[in-house]
Amino acid sequence: MERPLFLLSIVSLGLGGLLAFLVALARTPILYKLFPPGYFYHALVGHVDLAIVVFLLTFTMLLWNRFMPKRDPISFYLVLLGFLGIALISFSGKGTAVPNNYLPTIDHPLFFAGAILFFSGFWLASLVRLDLAVKNIFSKDPLINSLSISVVLALMMLLATLTSIPKTGSHSELYLFYERLYWAPGHIHQFLNGAVLLFAWYFLAKLLGVGHGLKLLRYTNLSFLFFSALLVLVPVIFEDPVSRSAKVFTEISYAIGLGIPIFLHAFNILRRPVFNYSVYSITLWLSMLLYFLGVLIAYAGLKSDLRVPAHYHGAVASLTLALMGISYYLVKEYGWIRDFPKVARFQLFMYGFGMVLFVLGLYFAGFKGAPRKTYGTGFTDDPFVLLSLGLMMVGTVFAVIGGVIFVISMLRISLKSRHASISAN
């Protein structure tokens, strides 16, 4: 199911990117008037769920299938059905869009069915690989090491969901209900993304001819596991999982349990750098730039304004970009192409540089108090904020161009290969 998972991840990223463009349009001076206000939150929810949650977790499953193969005939079909439910309700505009964190929700039966099916498939895929993961969790091979920890973290997400359910409160308070439900598992998801990011960086370095063996660094997994275990207990320890004390605890968990290990691994990779104009080099260094830009914003201090999405877009887009670079490797490995498309380097640069501009635009606007998850620009007449939002839109255009080129290239390559295979038979 590796190739179907690859195609599903590409389609999900493409649809999520389309919704991201609509969201950015709705926050751009003058242009926002062209966008229907009532659909803003549906587009925002759909973008996050498709381009971040579904894409990243589906690609993670692809990597599990490739590097930790196990017989698993069911999980793909579950995540496919889940994807369809989430995508259909996001584009339809039906239900109530709730812009909570980590898994933004559309309060509608079709969304719930999609989410349950998708995560059931994802957790099933991790469960069948748990024995392999436990055996290799301290492997000196950074690729197996990082993927093994991601499998365990996936199941810890499930545990955190179960401990969160009793603390959701009244469904009449939709935002708080879903915020409490997803807060703990959503934070563990970020630890999982961190593990996959480490895999991607080490894999790209390997493709550049630099092999890394882990010595003491292989035990940094203990940090991922320890702090994720504490996050599973957040709904148990705290009366309210999203109280101020609970949020401070989760922020500390990020800073220590996630940030420090990734920094150590990044330093390990940077000790033997390879700089050239190859697809893999462009991907690796732009990914690292985006990640540390996002991390720097976080360590500089966050408030509930546009600095928050500036932080997480830097961190998450670094993984998206890294997986784009790995995708070019995969389509060659599958035999779908002999050489990289001529547009590959341009595409990666446009997406990476565009996201840098996007993150900076959000950060500067947030520094002046621009609120997050807000339609239009009626909240300000500050020229600096408006210019910053303009910079955000420029970055969006660049990133969308890069994303569109990537999605079209991958779909074209895969469909052309399929047609050639059918013709040969």
**Neighbouring C-beta atoms of residue 51, cutoff 10 Å:** 23
CB crowding 221-240: b at 16 or more within 10 Å, else e: bebbbebbebbbebbeebeb
Distance between CA atoms of 200 and 69, rounded to whole angstroms? Answer: 18
More confident residue, 141 or 33: 141
Distance between CA atoms of 409 and 347, rounded to whole angstroms? Answer: 10
* Cα torsion angle, 263, 264, 269, 275, sign: positive
Check if the beta carbon of residue 381 is closer than 8 Å to that of residue 369.
Answer: no
Q: What is the pLDDT of residues 219-270, one digit of tens each?
A: 988 999 999 999 999 999 998 999 999 988 988 898 899 989 999 999 999 9
In the chain, the amino acid numbered 27 is R
Check if the beta carbon of residue 244 is closer than 8 Å to that of residue 234.
Answer: no
Check if the beta carbon of residue 334 is closer than 8 Å to that of residue 314.
Answer: no
Q: What is the pLDDT of residues 156-201, one digit of tens each?
A: 999 999 999 999 998 889 999 999 999 999 999 999 999 999 999 9
Q: What's the mean pLDDT in 44-65?
A: 94
Nearest to 122 by CA among 51, 64, 197, 184: 64
Percent of the chain with pLDDT over 70: 90
Check if the beta carbon of residue 153 is closer than 8 Å to that of residue 224.
Answer: yes
Q: What is the pLDDT of residues 306-332, one digit of tens each?
A: 788 888 888 889 999 999 999 999 999
Is 147's pLDDT higher than 90?
A: yes
Least confident of 273-277, 280-284, 331-335, 406-410: 273-277
Distance between CA atoms of 151 and 157, rounded to whole angstroms? Answer: 10
| Two tokens, residue 155 | 């199941």
Is 23's pLDDT higher than 90?
A: no
Q: What is the pLDDT of residues 55-83, one digit of tens each?
A: 999 999 999 999 999 988 899 999 999 99
Distance between CA atoms of 129 and 151, rounded to whole angstroms? Answer: 7
Q: What's the mean pLDDT in 5-21?
A: 90
Strands in 4-149 per DSSP E: 96-98, 105-107
Quote the crossing angle between the two packed helices 40-47 and 2-25, to the nearest 10°. Answer: 150
**Neighbouring C-beta atoms of residue 299, cutoff 10 Å:** 11
Nearest to 52 by CA among 186, 177, 173: 186
Check if the beta carbon of residue 214 is closer than 8 Å to that of residue 142.
Answer: yes
pLDDT for res 201: 97
Distance between CA atoms of 398 and 31, rounded to whole angstroms? Answer: 17
Is 144's pLDDT higher than 80?
A: yes
Residues 6+ apart with CB under 8 A from 327: 6, 10, 406, 410
Nearest to 133 by CA among 225, 6, 266, 268: 225
Q: What is the pLDDT of residues 393-424, one digit of tens each?
A: 889 889 989 999 999 999 999 887 764 444 44
